[in-house]
Structure 1
């Protein structure tokens, strides 16, 4: 028989982002959280479809996640930024302590308590401007004005394809080795 986890507790350390509003919407993302449910809840509040007790829409949302929920937290934030648009962002990485109690299935055996340190992330999204000098700050995507340097980098990564760079490509049929059709493709 295998040991089973009986309980899991995390330290309740304060958010590593200074100056959070009292009415900020907090989304705790866990390993088993459903992205669709989290996004539906956060999107309706950030878009003003559902108002709080004061009759105002939510201006800020904080996503937190740790351990195996870390990548899911980042995914939620990136999707919400595209859905709502114009959101300022501050991201902070930190560590938190997790205590787990594991039950031993053998009679008379003691339960095992483990203390682990796991990576965690806290991401604030805000409709209102945030301090651009805060470490971890990202401006809204719509406000990024390309500079001459970024334009030069884009040209190196994706050069314009001229007609001379077009090459014919042959496709093969699955059932035999004859050529089905040819097409023109860009490299």
Structure 2
């Protein structure tokens, strides 16, 4: 941003992550390597005394966080799951470098996710509860609506691109084209016949 430098960032609202007594908490970032975090989580969760693990991630790391939880569910059968999603609200301030300009404030909402996996039964009345064996992540209705709207928009864009790439058909159908060609052939034959008669008359 011209004439401005990045100032302080203030967290206005940080949604609480899931909590379970005795659970190991895995914080996944965009720079995290799945193999490394999974190695530690699997070795620790393999201890019979450890009954719960919580995967936390935000922003660009959300998909990686979900992948870690799903990998663990495939490797360790019988895990119960509860998922919590929210938004981290951050205010970024930009300081002017030119006299006369005002200080700017930019509000940013960063999506967050917290996934609790447990060897023990969890609250089945929770909206996001998943029983062992379930593979589809359960999202709250609000997140589902946003996802569905995004998918519909992408589908509409694909349809427009496909329509634009298709070659345009001629307005006339095959029968009309055949009639037109036949009429042209008749005209050409008539012209040639007249030319032949004119040649014969001149020879006489």
Q: TM-score range by the shorter chain?
A: 0.5 to 0.7
1:80 pairs with one of 51, 72, 83: 72
Q: Cα distance 1:100–1:132, how it changes in 2: closer, same or farther (>3 A)?
A: same
Q: Cα distance 1:133–1:31, how it changes in 2: closer, same or farther (>3 A)?
A: same
1:14 Cα deviation after fit? 1.9
Deviations for 1:83-111, whole angstroms, at most 9, x for unmatched residues? 2221100112211113456788x799999
Question: For this pair of structures, how many residues does the alignment match?
Answer: 131
1:116 Cα deviation after fit? 0.7
Match of 1:116 in 2: 108
Aligned mates of 1:7, 1:84 — CA distance in 2: 43
Task: Could you tell me which runs of 5 or more consecutive residues in structure 2 were left unpaired when the two chains were aligned.
Answer: 135-204
Task: Could you tell me which runs of 5 or more consecutive residues in structure 1 were left unpaired when the two chains were aligned.
Answer: 49-55, 143-187
Aligned mates of 1:68, 1:96 — CA distance in 2: 13
Q: Does 1:13 align with 2:20?
A: no
Deviations for 1:114-163, whole angstroms, at most 9, x for unmatched residues? 43112211110000001112110111118xxxxxxxxxxxxxxxxxxxxx
Considering only CA atoms, is the larger Rg found in Structure 1 or Structure 2?
2
Q: Cα distance 1:29–1:7, how it changes in 2: closer, same or farther (>3 A)?
A: farther
For residues 131-150 of structure 1, the aligned pairs below 5 Å read 131-141=123-133
2:53 pairs with one of 53, 61, 74: 61
RMSD after superposition: 3.0
Q: What is the SS of the residue equivalent to 1:138? A: coil
In terms of fraction of residues, the more helix-rich structure is 2
Aligned mates of 2:25, 2:124 — CA distance in 1: 22
Q: Which moved more, 1:5-14 or 1:125-134?
A: 5-14
1:76 Cα deviation after fit? 0.5
Does the CA contact (< 8 Å) of 2:14 and 2:87 recur in 1?
no
Match of 1:91 in 2: 83
